[in-house]
Amino acid sequence: GGGRNRGGRGRPDSLIGTTVKIHKGPYKGYRGRVKDVHGTSVRVELDSIMKVVS
């Protein structure tokens, strides 16, 4: 529990709270924390600019 499971398998909501690095798009290279998961989409709160993106 606790949302810190980095196994990559299991329930999608296990990603919530984990830190990720964005590899594509206009925010490439940024790090952020997963805030929400909907199917194959996630919402990430970017650490460096304090903005939530989908």
Q: Where are the domains of the chain?
A: 12-53
Neighbours of 34 (CB within 10 A): 19
Q: How many CA atoms lie within 13 A of 23 on its CB side?
A: 1
- Contact (Cβ atoms closer than 8 angstroms) between residue 38 and residue 13: no
Question: What is the model's pLDDT at position 20?
Answer: 93
Going residue by residue through the chain, which has 54 residues, state the pLDDT in tens, using 9 for 90 and above: 455 545 555 676 788 999 999 999 998 999 999 999 988 889 999 887 766 777
What topology is assigned to 12-53 in CATH? SH3 type barrels. (2.30.30)
Strand 41-46 and strand 51-53: pairing? antiparallel
